[in-house]
Structure formats: structure tokens, C-alpha cells
Amino acid sequence: MTDPASLLAAMDTDAIIEDLKVWVEQESPSQDANAVNAMMDLVIQEAEAVGLTVSRTPGCDGYGDIVKLETQPAANGPRLLMLTHADTVHAIGTLETLPFKRDGDKLYGPGIYDMKGGAYLALKALRTLKALGSGSAMPVTIMVMPDEEAGSPTSKAAIEAEARRAAVTLVVEPAREGGKIVTARKGAARYYLTATGKPAHSGSRHQDGASAIREIAAKTVQLETMTDYGKGITVNVGVIEAGTAVNVIPSRATAEIDIRIPTLELAAEIDARMQALEAEIPGVTLEIKGGLNRPPMERTAGVSSLFDHARGLASEIGFDLETVPQTGGGSDGNFTAALGVPTLDGLGVDGAGAHTLDEHLLVSSIAPRCALLASLIETITPETVQTLDSANAEDGQ
């Protein structure tokens, strides 16, 4: 194992910042396939400098390409899977109001925290090990997704395929609350509710109409009351579209609903309640589509053992690694964890303001987080995997 002090000393923070500037200034909103693919070009450029093998799958359904980077493509046996994404929530032009800039320990820019900072460090960690004459203990696959911020609709299958080959997954999503990593996430469900009523003139024939908006309004109140903080369930009716003119009884209204659930058992319970929804307004019919998009990432004994391993490495590097309770945000790590692969998430940079015009990373987190990633890559061995498997077996998982 490379001495942690050597790993930390090898991190040139100023050089990393200069490279990150190029990545951040290539804006890459999920829905702009060309912009995301331009960002993928930058990722591949860095990957080739590291010496990784590159596979690029053309995008579909309006999203960008999926990029897979590997240290030993043909190797058999257990693999270390790392997950990242090149898309952001920020629209083209956000740089005008959120330019790349440094203010003390804060480094600003669209997508810099979620998650271009972590994506870059994943590659930098491998490059640093190579420069020090070391490398990974197992073959490494890095998956770079184009659509994570949209729920990974086109990349989920590819993630799950790689997860079935993986022994461990590391996700370089941003850290939480002062550098804490994530060992459990809620599941995310997305539902689309459509009410179909009957149009009529709102003045002369009001009585002939059946308002779809009124139905969706009633359902919005009903759905929001399903939020139960004690059980960890949150429901948000986030988008409503309806109506054609102010003097027409609306015949159609739709609602998009986001639900976060901590366990598969509760997910099934919520789904049953969603499917049982019925129209209240005479003359209106309801249609419900959707379901669980990302399964819950539950903390298993194997995940706890993996976290202990990471915490020990962090201590040698010089900082105390902590984890948060189950977080409400989803990631692609939900998919790997659901397949039984021990998964650590939130291993990217520390910072705040994800998805806002205050998005920033903390410069002071760059070197230690990169050193931790390098240490994990170097020390997660087949023997480590056996220990994780044994922990799960003893816990009956």
C-alpha cells in the first residue's frame, strides 16, 4: 500500500483546479445530448491519458452517450465498479450567472459539486497511483452516465449489467454535510397522474363540464398528506399542467409526483395506495402511470464493513470520515445496492449548493478526497470482498 502521506503529497490542487475549469465550462445539461457528448469527449481525453480502455455506446431517446472506462477489460474475477455522470441540471448559459471562480476555500461553477468534481477525482486517483508506480488491487470499471440527473432512463440497464460483474461499487457523488459519505439512500418513485374530464363553456354551460383541474387539485391535497416524516416517506406534487383557456372547463390535467421511500416494503405499500386512487369529481376519469424508479439503498453488514475500511484509510490520510443517516436523494448507487453489491456513495468532493446558483466545492477537500479514492482503489482486494461477503452472510443477507 502506498503511504497515505505520499498520496496526499502527490495531489497538485492548483493543477486539478485548472483541469476542472475546462470541465465545468463545458456546460452539459441532461437534455442536451450534444453538450453532454462534448463533456464525454473531455472525460475520454483524460481517461486516455491515464491509459484506460474506452468504450462508448451511442445515446438514445434524446440523451448523450454512455462511456465505460476500464483498466483491464478482459480480466476475469471480481471487479471494482466506480459510478459517475457527466450531465448536470444547469441549463446552457448558467455560466453567465454562476461563473467558474474561486472565493477563498470555495470554488464555484455549474455542476462542479454535483458531480464534475468527483468525476474528475475518480480519474485523477488512478492517474496518481500510476505515477507513484502503483495501481488497483482489482480490475476497475468506471461508468460515466449521460442522464443521471434525469433518473438514468437510458443508462440503468448498463449500470445493472456492470454491477452483476462487480464485487464492490464506489460512487463519486458529492459528499454530504461536511464531508460525510452515504451508506444508505431512500428509493425514488415517480408517478404521472392524468385526469380527463369534460369541456364546456364556463359561463353559459358550466353545469355541463367536468373539471380535470378540480380533480387534480383534490388529489394534490390527498397525496401530500401521505408524507410521513416519522416513517421517512415524502411526497411532492412537483409539476401540474392543465387547461386551455380561462373560460373553458378544463378537460385534461396532469400531475407529476415524486415520492421518496426508505424500504422496499414501504415502496410496495405506497404503490398500492397510488394504484387505488379513484376520481372524486363526477364525469372525470383518472389514469396513473409510473412506479419505483430507484430502489432504496439499504445499509447492509457488508456496506458497514466497507465503510469501516474506508474510515480507517481516511484516518491514515488525516481526516475523520463519517456517514449520514439514510439520505433522501437518489443516485445510480441505488441500482447497484439493490443487486446486493456493497456500495459506498458520496465519495466525491465536499461542498454545498447542488442544483442551485450557489453550487460550489471546498478546495480544501480536493486533495484528501482524491487520496481516499486512490487508497480505496489500491486496497480493496479479493480478500476484502470475501470479508464483505462473510459479513452479509453472518447477518443473513
pLDDT value at residue 325: 86
pTM: 0.89
Q: Tens digits of per-residue pLDDT, 140-195? A: 999 999 999 999 999 999 999 999 999 999 999 999 989 999 999 999 999 999 99
Q: Tens digits of per-residue pLDDT, 201-257? A: 999 999 999 999 999 999 999 999 999 999 999 999 999 999 999 999 999 999 999
Residues 95, 100, 103: CA angle, nearest 5 degrees = 135
* Strand spans (E) along 32-128: 53-57, 66-70, 79-85, 101-103, 106-108
CA distances to 23, 208, 213, 256 from 197, in Å: 48, 11, 9, 18
CB of 141 closer than 8 Å to CB of 52: no
Share of the chain above pLDDT 90, in %: 91
Write out the three cell numbers for 52. Answer: 484506460
Q: What is the dihedral of CA 190, 92, 327, 192, to 10 degrees?
A: -10
Instruction: State mean pLDDT over 314-341.
Output: 93
Domain with CATH 3.40.630.10 in the chain: 4-185+297-394
Q: Regarding predicted confidence, which is higher, 391 or 81? A: 81
Tell me which residue of 85, 47, 94 sits closest to 66, measured CA to CA: 85
DSSP 295: -
Query: Has domain 187-294 been given CATH number 3.30.70.360?
Result: yes
Q: If phi over 0 gives left and psi between -120 and 50 gives alpha, with beta otherwise, what is residue 175?
A: beta
DSSP 84: E
Give the architecture-level CATH label for domain 4-185+297-394.
3-Layer(aba) Sandwich (3.40)
* 117-131 helix and 13-24 helix, angle to the nearest 10 degrees: 140
First to last CA, the chain: 31
**Is it the case that residue 92 has pLDDT exceeding 70?**
yes
CB atoms closer than 10 angstroms to residue 275: 10
Write out the three cell numbers for 266. Answer: 414501504
Q: What is the distance between the alpha carbons of residues 229 and 88, in angstroms, rounded to a whole number?
A: 29
* Strand spans (E) along the chain: 53-57, 66-70, 79-85, 101-103, 106-108, 140-145, 166-171, 181-182, 187-196, 234-242, 252-261, 285-294, 323-324, 343-344, 351-352, 360-362
**Is it the case that residue 396 has pLDDT exceeding 70?**
no
Q: Which residues pair with 303 in a beta bridge?
A: none
Of all helices (H) and strands (E), which one includes residue 272?
Answer: helix 264-275
What DSSP line would sit under 311-378, residue for residue?
HHHHHHHT----EESPBS---THHHHHHTT--EEB--S--EE-TTSTT-EEEHHHHHHHHHHHHHHHH
CB of 333 closer than 8 Å to CB of 341: no
Write out the three cell numbers for 349. Answer: 468532493
**Is it the case that residue 346 has pLDDT exceeding 80?**
yes
Q: Tens digits of per-residue pLDDT, 37-49? A: 999 999 999 999 9
CB of 145 closer than 8 Å to CB of 159: yes
